[in-house]
A and B are shown apart, each in its own frame.
Chain A
Amino acid sequence: MSEKKHRHRHKKSDGKSFIILPIIFLVGTYLVLYLAFAPTFSTFVSAAGMFFSNNEKNYSTEYKNIFVPVSENTTLPTVKIEDKTYVEKEAVEYPQYGNQFGELIIEDCGIDNKLFFGDGDIALRNGVGIYNGSFVPGYGGTILVAGHNNTFFNGLKYAEAGQKVVIRTSYGNYEYRITDTAVKKATDKSAYDLNADYENLIMYTCYPFDELGLTQYRYFVYAEYISGQQIDKSVQEGE
């Protein structure tokens, strides 16, 4: 009788050891691995995800780099239109989708990232990316830049009005000043105006910062144009 009881207790203890404890381990392991090894861990997660995803995702890290830094004293060919000086259009190599064509620097926020044209997977895994429905610096429109909140745009949490943003491209260096920050829903169309006829910079990342998983909020940082040669956009006769 006492042997039966002992076996029963033993079974109960087995259930505890091999079912409940592993579940606790699972939660604990996630927490520890995420907090301590998130950057290293992501490689294995991505690799494992390849076996379970139906979508054809591009896990390649290859991209074309067309960025050649322009020093402060370099003179690019310019053209004068109605008393204003513009960079000659022939001197500008417009980036194609996925190209790294510059750098985005906010010293006060510890941000110094590669800047891509396009905000696809590869771009956001290697730096920050301009939405290809917005425009490049110097084009006189809205520049909408995305970056991950746990890596390249984590520093946006230190963004404050008055801070300087520098964008370096192969056709010139541009300076902007942060004017405002705001938390808005990702679906909020008032958060940006891609039809603006003046140059302005909008940077955003997921909010809250360091959030694991999906979030419906974004942290927007707005900046006004300060300096940098504008590109000649005059329409020329076709062939």
Chain B
Amino acid sequence: MKKLSAILVALVLVAATAVTAFAAGINSSEQAVLDELKTSVTMKGSDELIPSEYVNQAENYFNTIEMTEEQSKEIIAVIEEGKTFLHNSGASNIADLTFDQKQQLLALGEKAVGVLNMSMSYDKTTKQLTITAPNGDVAFNAVPYLTKDGKLDDNGVIKTTGSETNYFGFIAVGVAAVVLVAGGAIYLVKSKKERA
């Protein structure tokens, strides 16, 4: 009986103090990748950096996963390969690369994120690069480029937070409303004439 009650008390204590453990922050493997992302690449004699906002996005994603040392080394090797490629490209920024060079850089990017079973896609119209986690969640979404001061140049940080602007939608609904009102008016005029 004593044993049974001891087991029960132990079970109650375990249940009461149990806390769910999640992927634990940044480990040394992830930190090594972040450090590598923060180092500059020399393009046409000028030092260029990945905007810190993009590195922050990587840090936020790394907080949700556990990267192994092996994965970290593999990713760093691809990043270094990418830096050498950019250095030898003769371009002053990613935007200045030729189509073929951009394709090669994209292939290197796919190789790097592939280590973590992530996928990468590029939207030509919006010029946005999206990196998707294995579960389908977006891990990174931005226009890829490098800057001298490590800060974003474009308007990618601050979003459009006015009323949702969908001009085509407004026009379509507006035209439908006008057709309805005009149709009603014609019907009323006709029926009035017929009665007269």
Interface residues in chain A, defined as those with a beta carbon under 8 Å from any beta carbon in chain B:
17-18, 21-22, 25-26, 29-30, 33, 38, 41-42, 44-49, 51-55, 76-77, 89-98, 117-120, 124-125, 131-136, 141, 144, 146-150, 153, 186-187, 189, 191-192, 194-195, 204-206, 211-215, 218, 231-239
A239 in contact with B164 (CB, 8 Å): no
Listed from nearest, the 3 A-B pairs whose CB atoms lie closest are A49-B169, A133-B53, A238-B29
- Spot the interface stretch: B15-23, B81-89, B105-113: B15-23
Q: Which of B24, B138, B139, B166 contacts A236, CB < 8 Å? A: B24
Residues of B within 8 A of A (CB): 19-31, 52-54, 56-57, 60-61, 63-64, 66-69, 72, 125-126, 133, 135, 137-139, 141-142, 151-152, 155, 157-166, 168-170, 172-178, 181-182, 185-186, 189
When A52-B168, A54-B125 are in contact, do A192 and B157 touch as well, CB less than 8 Å? yes
Q: Note all chain A residues with C-beta closer than 8 A to B159.
A: 119, 124, 131, 146
Q: Are B185 and A17 in contact (CB under 8 A)?
A: yes
- Assess the A52–B162 pair: CB atoms within 8 A: no
Chain B positions within 8 Å of A141 at CB level:
56
Complex-state Cα separation, A133 to B135, whole angstroms = 20
Residues of B within 8 Å of A237, CB to CB, are 27-28
The majority secondary structure among interface residues of chain A is loop
Q: When the two chains form their complex, are residues B158 and A218 in contact, meaning their CB atoms are under 8 A apart?
A: yes
Are B21 and A91 within 8 A (Cβ)? yes
Chain B residue contacts of A191, Cβ below 8 A: 158
Contact A194 B125, CB 8 Å, known A45-B173, A236-B28 = no
Q: Are B182 and A25 in contact (CB under 8 A)?
A: yes
> Shortest Cβ distance from B29 into chain A, in angstroms?
3
User: Are A239 and B168 also in contact (CB < 8 A) when A26-B177, A96-B133, A194-B52 are?
Assistant: no
CA distance A91 to B178 in the complex (A): 57
Query: B27 touching A238 by the CB < 8 A rule?
Result: yes
13 A-B pairs whose Cβ atoms sit less than 8 Å apart in the complex: A26-B174, A26-B175, A45-B169, A46-B164, A47-B169, A90-B22, A98-B137, A131-B157, A146-B159, A191-B158, A234-B25, A236-B24, A238-B29
